[in-house]
Every structure is written in C-alpha cells, then in structure tokens.
C-alpha cells in the first residue's frame, strides 16, 4: 500500500495489522528519541515476567516492540519503562505483583517520567483492574492477554495523554502475525501454536483469562520456525495450554501429530519440544510420531493433578487414575527412555486422606522424572472456589510436605538412570559456578555440566554422563568418532 509519509511515518494510520503496529512503533520511536536527547542518555526498559512459558514468550514480543520503539534493554526496575507481565493461576503470583507495585511507586517518585505498565492474565480479572485504578493511580498502562499485539499503539496513546490508559478485551479470535520479538536465547525459542483453553478444569482460571482455544495456521507456524532456524535456532518449544487438541478448530483441521511431522522436515532444526499435554487428548498417533522421530525430544509433561478418580471427576479432568496409568504404560512401551514430568495439586476441595494416598500411589507407580507440586489456590470465579468443603491449611501443608519428599526421592533415582551413557547435550550457557564448564540440557530436559567453551553455546555436543548429583549430571567430553584415517 502507498502512504504519504512525514518523517518516515505514514500520515494515515494503517488499518490492517501488523502494519498498524509498525506505524505506532515508529511513532513511539520519535517520542523516545526526543526524550532521550533531552535527558542526554538512552531510555531503557525492563520487562518482568511471572508464570508460564506462554508469558515468557509474550514478554519476548513486548521486548521486541520496545526495542523497535527505541528503548534499550536493562535488567533492572530502575528503567524508564517497566512492564510487569503477570500471572494469576495461583494467588501468591498476584500478591507478588502488588508487593512490587509499592517499590515501583518509590522509583517513580525519583524518576517522574518513568512509565509503569501491567499486562498478562491478572489484568483480565475485573476486580484486579478496579483495585489498581483505585489504589495504584501511578500505573500508566494496563492491557490484557488478548490485545498484547496492540502494545505499541497503547504506548503511544499513553505518551500522548496524561492519564492511565486501560484496554482489556474480554476475548478475541484475532491472531496477529509477524510482530518483532527479542529472543532470550539465540539458539532456542518458544513458538505459540495455539492460544486459550476450552477445558474448564474446575480449579483453573486460565480459560477465563486466556479465552477460548484458537490454533494458529500450520503455514504460519512452519514459516516462523523456518525463519528461526535460518536465524540460528536449533530447538523449538511448541506452546499451548493443551497442544494435543491443536488444529481441531481450524477451517482445515490438522492434528498435532501431523503438525509435528511437518515441523520435523524443517532443515537445521535439531530438537522439538512441546507443552502442555492433557492426558485426555493424547493420541496413539502422537505416541507413534514421537517414537519414530529423530527430532522430538523424549520428554512429556503430562499433568496428573490428582491420583484419585473421585477428585479427578470433581476437577473435570475427564480421565481416571486407571486411564492415566494405562496411558503412561503405553507411552513407556513405545518410547522406553521417555522422561515423564507432571503437575500435582494438593488440597483440592473435599480431598480426603484416602484421595491423597491415591496420588502418592500414582507417583510411586509412574515414577516421574520430576513433578511440580502446588497447594490448591482458590481462584474467584472458578467452580471449585464455590465448593464448600475446602481443606484446612494445616492438613494441606502436611500432605504437601509428604508429597514433595516422595517426589524428590523418586526424581533423584529416575534422573540417575542415564549414568554412564553418552548423550547429546545442547550447550546453553557458561556455568556460573566453575570456570571452563558449560551447562546444557539433555533431550529429557535434565541439566548437565561439562567442559566446554563459550563458542560452543547453541551446539549439540556428545557428553558422557559420569556422575548424577540429584537433579543434574557432571559430564565429560567424548571424542567424536573419526572417519576412516
Ligand atoms: N491452584 C493450584 N494449582 C493450580 N494450577 C492451576 N490452577 C491452580 C489452582 N487454582 C496448576 C495446575 C496446572 C499448573 C500450570 O498450575 O497443576 O497444571
Ligand atoms: Fe487450566 Fe485445565 Fe486448561 Fe490446563 S487444561 S489451562 S489446568 S483449564
């Protein structure tokens, strides 16, 4: 399209995305440059992320936009614009944000031009926005999960006005492609394949704050991964709340397994990970594709939540204890070296001692490589929050401690099962404790420390796993096989 331009910026605001946002990024850059000249220094930004990998990926998008707008990255909250990308899955994540706001206020008093932005899942809750409007008047910008792509436009709105800018959407079916991102790692990247969740587990707030399930077009996903690999990425993590239901709502439905087969063909891509998988939707087709693939990591994050069929029904998980055990046995038969990890909630309303013992029983039977354990958190608006038989805190705490001990003991044993083998490790960073060492990850996601140099970061390296120390390995290099001398 042809626009008349002034200072390199079209005079008419483009209607179509992402052109519209690129227009606002240029416009923001003018303000940022002017302010920077006045202050005699570059302006800086800091994005703080709470919660899951989805939020981490969203933050990379926010950072990409801020860089395009002329800000420079800083790791500190003393920056000229500070964004908190929030999580609301458990209450303590909310409390942390309120705690940080007090501190940000004190920083803003010293730097009155500082901008404070809040976004992410917590902002999708009307009572949160009301509270901020009332008690945290110094916040400049509030937006939600559905309109994160509009960040540049909202930032300009704030730069052009003197009051708090708030824009929260209830839901959306829009997916805006091709916005800038600033990747945290040069060699690996998250890739959203779908947004939202349709499962309505009775304890979970995600479907209310992330909206209904929307899958990205396979073409867009493949194009993004192709570009990433051309840019040096060797590992992708495909992200969705329930990747196993990927593609069901597309005009031309595609299964997750079919998508994986296409991604696998991309040259230069070495490793494929994905999360999260819902046990109810995990297909035989996916297990088969995993078993045959050279690139898909032998790791499955398969949230159990509870081992009691009665509680699982109350949670609306749509599988029983037996279904879960059968499924994990089937996966282990097809992919014997699979690493299984999980999420478990303790203290769901009505959980009895017997229900809790069922959870311990599944843990002992499946033998997870690791498990994230959570104390049930009552989320306003979810069906479980209205249930009457909430479990007393001291009982929950007691069960939680028992669970954690059991999980840790099993996890240490499971982790050590690769001792003495030679495996490929993706070198990720310089070891912060000991000079001359690198830290990387196995396909199973286990950490390995081994000798290496900075230039090797981002490479897959054969390492002998000499010694297991709890949840990580100390390794040594093995000579690559020499071709005929
Ligand atoms: N309380 C505790 N844990 C929760 N999760 C989701 N909602 C809650 C809640 N209300 C956990 C689940 C999920 C993980 C991402 O967070 O285990 O798998
Ligand atoms: Fe929450 Fe259940 Fe959806 Fe996971 S599958 S995001 S736990 S509602």
Give the pLDDT confidence score for residue 142 in this predicted structure: 98
Q: Which atom of ligand 2 is nearest to the CA of 200?
A: 8
Ligand 1 centre from 237 Cα, in Å?
A: 21
Looking at the CA of residue 204, tell me the nearest atom of ligand 2: 1
Question: Which protein residue's CA is at the shortest distance from atom 5 of ligand 2?
Answer: 199
| Ligand 2 close to Cβ of residue 204 (< 6 A) | yes
Alpha-carbon torsion (22, 24, 30, 32), positive or negative? negative
**DSSP 8-state code for residue 72:** E
- Return the pLDDT at 25: 97
Q: What is the mean pLDDT of each run of 10 residues along the chain (485 residues)?
A: 62 92 96 96 97 94 97 92 96 92 94 95 96 96 96 96 93 87 94 96 96 95 97 97 94 97 98 97 97 97 98 98 98 97 98 98 97 96 95 97 97 96 97 94 97 96 96 90 47
Q: Give me ligand 1 centre to Cα 303, in Å.
A: 10
Strand, coil or helix: what is 437? strand
121, 205, 206: residue to mutate for ligand 2 pocket, most atoms within 8 A of CB: 206
Backbone angles phi, psi at 315, to 5 degrees: -80, -10
Q: What is the DSSP letter of 16?
A: S
How many angstroms separate the CA atoms of 296 and 274, rounded? 9
User: What is the Å distance from ligand 1's center to 304 Cα?
Assistant: 11
β-pairing, 370-375 vs 339-346, is parallel
CB < 8 Å & 24+ apart, contacts of 212-219: 212/171, 213/241, 213/242, 213/245, 213/248, 213/249, 214/173, 214/175, 214/249, 215/240, 215/246, 215/247, 215/248, 215/249, 215/250, 216/175, 216/177, 216/192, 217/250, 218/247, 218/250, 218/254, 218/259, 218/262
Ligand with an atom nearest the CA of residue 318? 2
Strand spans (E) along 230-297: 235-239, 271-275
Answer whether 242 contacts ligand 2 (Cβ < 6 A): yes
Contact 87 CB / ligand 2 (< 6 Å): no
Atom number of ligand 1 nearest to Cα 382: 10
With 0-12 / 13-18 / 19 or more C-beta atoms within 10 angstroms meaning exposed / middle / buried, residue 21 is: buried
Q: Is the peptide bond before 175 cis (omega within 30 degrees of 0)?
A: no
Place of tokens 């220094």: 41
Q: State whether the beta carbon of 383 lies less than 6 angstroms from ligand 2.
A: no
Look-up: residue for tokens 């690769």?
Answer: 418
Interhelix angle 218-230/256-264, rounded to 10 degrees, is 30
- As for ligand 1, residues whose beta carbon falls within 6 Å of it are 89-90, 203-204, 303, 305, 343, 345, 374, 376-377, 379
The answer to whether 133 and 114 are in contact (CB under 8 A) is no
Cα dihedral value 105, 37, 156, 83, nearest 10: -40
Pairing type for strands 72-73 and 437-441 reads unpaired
Nearest listed ligand to the Cα of residue 197:
2
Q: Are 61 and 47 within 8 A, CB to CB?
A: no
Nearest CA to ligand 1 atom 14: 343
| Mutation probe of ligand 1 site: the residue of 51, 52, 90, 279 with most atoms within 8 A of C-beta | 90
Index of the ligand 1 atom closest to the CA of residue 372: 17
The radius of gyration of the chain's CA atoms, rounded to the nearest angstrom, is 24
Ligand lying nearest the CA atom of residue 379: 1
> Does the beta carbon of 197 sit less than 6 angstroms from any atom of ligand 2?
yes
Does 201 contact ligand 2 (Cβ within 6 A)? yes
Q: State if residue 278 touches ligand 2 by the CB under 6 angstroms criterion.
A: yes
Is residue 366 helix, strand or coil? helix
Two tokens at 484?
């005929």
CA of 32 to the centre of ligand 2 (A): 40
Q: Are strands 188-192 and 9-10 parallel, antiparallel or unpaired?
A: unpaired
d(CA 291, CA 368): 19
**Protein residue with its CA nearest to atom 6 in ligand 1:** 204
Q: From the CA of 377, which ligand is nearest?
A: 1
Residue nearest to atom 1 of ligand 2 (CA): 204
CA dist 288 and 265 (Å) reads 16
C-alpha 205 to ligand 1 mean position (Å)? 9
pLDDT for the residue numbered 171:
86
Measured from the Cβ of residue 485, the count of other Cβ atoms closer than 10 Å reads 3
Distance 394 CA to ligand 1 centre (A): 19
Is residue 243 exposed (0-12), middle (13-18) or buried (19+ Cβ within 10 Å)? buried
Neighbours of 108 (CB within 10 A): 17
* Three-state secondary-structure class, residue 66: helix
Q: What is the pLDDT of residue 11?
A: 75
290 Cβ neighbours under 8 A, 6+ residues apart: 296, 298, 300, 334, 335, 338
Q: What is the model's pLDDT at position 8?
A: 72
| Interatomic CA distance for residues 24 and 27, integer angstroms | 5
Say whether the peptide bond before residue 276 is cis (omega within 30 degrees of 0): yes
φ, ψ for residue 283 (rounded to 5)?
Answer: -90, 160
Pocket flag, ligand 2, residue 123 (CB < 6 Å): no
Q: Which atom of ligand 1 is nearest to the CA of 384?
A: 10
Entry field: residues in the chain: 485
Q: How many CB atoms lie under 10 A from the CB of residue 26?
A: 19
Burial 56-72 (b: 16+ CB within 10 A, else e): bbbbbbbbbbbbbbbbe
Both tokens of residue 54?
């989805």
């Amino acid at each position: 399209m042809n626009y008349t331009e002034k200072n390199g910026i079209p005079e008419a605001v483009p209607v179509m995305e992402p052109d519209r946002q690129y227009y606002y990024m240029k416009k923001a850059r003018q303000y940022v440059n002017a302010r920077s000249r006045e202050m005699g220094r570059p302006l800086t930004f800091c994005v703080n992320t709470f919660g899951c990998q989805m939020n981490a990926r969203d933050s990379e998008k926010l950072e990409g936009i801020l860089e395009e707008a002329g800000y420079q990255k800083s790791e500190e909250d003393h920056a000229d614009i500070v964004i908190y990308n929030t999580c609301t899955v458990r209450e303590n994540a909310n409390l942390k944000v309120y705690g940080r706001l007090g501190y940000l206020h004190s920083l803003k008093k010293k730097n009155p031009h500082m901008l404070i932005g809040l976004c992410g899942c917590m902002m999708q809750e009307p009572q949160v926005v009301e509270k901020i409007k009332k008690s945290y008047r110094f916040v400049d910008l509030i937006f939600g999960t559905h309109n994160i792509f509009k960040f540049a436009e909202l930032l300009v709105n704030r730069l052009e006005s003197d009051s708090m800018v708030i824009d929260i959407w209830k839901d959306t079916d829009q997916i805006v492609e091709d916005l800038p991102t600033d990747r945290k790692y040069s060699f690996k990247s998250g890739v959203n394949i779908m947004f939202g969740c349709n499962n309505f587990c009775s304890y979970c707030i995600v479907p209310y704050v992330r909206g209904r399930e929307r899958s990205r077009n396979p073409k867009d996903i493949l194009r993004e991964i192709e570009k990433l690999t051309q840019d040096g990425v060797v590992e992708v993590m495909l992200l969705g709340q329930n990747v196993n239901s990927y593609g069901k709502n597309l005009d031309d439905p595609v299964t997750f397994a079919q998508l994986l087969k296409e991604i696998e063909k991309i040259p230069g891509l070495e490793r494929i990970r994905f999360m999260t998988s819902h046990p109810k939707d995990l297909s035989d087709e996916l297990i088969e594709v995993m078993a045959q693939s050279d690139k898909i990591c032998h790791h499955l994050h398969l949230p159990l939540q509870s081992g009691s069929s009665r509680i699982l029904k109350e949670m609306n998980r749509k599988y029983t204890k037996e279904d879960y055990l059968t499924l994990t046995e089937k996966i282990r038969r097809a992919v014997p070296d699979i690493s299984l990890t999980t999420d478990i909630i303790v203290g769901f309303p009505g959980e009895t001692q017997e229900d809790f013992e069922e959870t311990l029983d599944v843990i002992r039977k499946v033998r997870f490589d690791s498990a994230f354990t959570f104390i049930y958190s009552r989320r306003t608006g979810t069906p479980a929050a209205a249930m009457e038989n909430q479990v007393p805190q001291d009982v929950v705490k007691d069960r939680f401690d028992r669970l954690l001990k059991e999980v840790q003991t099993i996890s240490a044993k499971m982790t050590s099962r690769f001792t003495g083998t030679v495996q490929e490790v993706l070198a990720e960073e310089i070891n912060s404790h000991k000079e001359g060492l690198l830290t990387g990850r196995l396909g199973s996601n286990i950490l390995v420390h081994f000798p290496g140099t900075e230039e090797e970061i981002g490479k897959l390296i054969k390492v002998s796993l000499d010694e297991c120390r709890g949840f990580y390995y100390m390794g040594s290099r093995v000579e690559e096989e020499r071709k005929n001398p």
